[in-house]
Amino acid sequence: MKEFDELIRIAKKLRAPGGCPWDRSRRLEDLKEDLLEEAEEVGQALDNKDDENLREELGDLIFNIVLAVVIAEEEGRFEFKDVLSDIAEKIIRRHTWVFGDDKASTPEEALKIWAENKKKEDAKKRQTNS
């Protein structure tokens, strides 16, 4: 999506030589409070049923996420494509009633299967890390 690519371009320009000194000084760990604050503001906009503010706060949250990934890329930790492919794979893995053979016709059934799938994944991770 061109708008998303533009947002990544903006974040990279802010971080580049000649960009914003404050944004250039930021490290991944510095973004923790910003991310939490923006998520809280999204929650407040939802509570207030304020779509105009929700749209703005979601944008702020997305930008902070983009900035975090750009910084991680600069540090050689991981790339944007890795974040996006990881979440796509996880969503498919966990929604076995949509992308697999499980059956869920109610939100409660879906949540139960999601929790079971997550539990299986967590057990597999612990076994692999042992």
User: Do 50 and 95 have their domain in common?
Assistant: no
User: Do 66 and 38 have their domain in common?
Assistant: yes
Number of compact structural domains in the chain = 2
The stretch 69-92 carries a mean pLDDT of: 97
Residue 103 domain boundaries: 80-130
d(CA 96, CA 29): 34
- Reported as a pLDDT band with limits 50, 70 and 90, residue 111 is very high
Lowest mean pLDDT among 65-69, 87-91, 125-129: 125-129
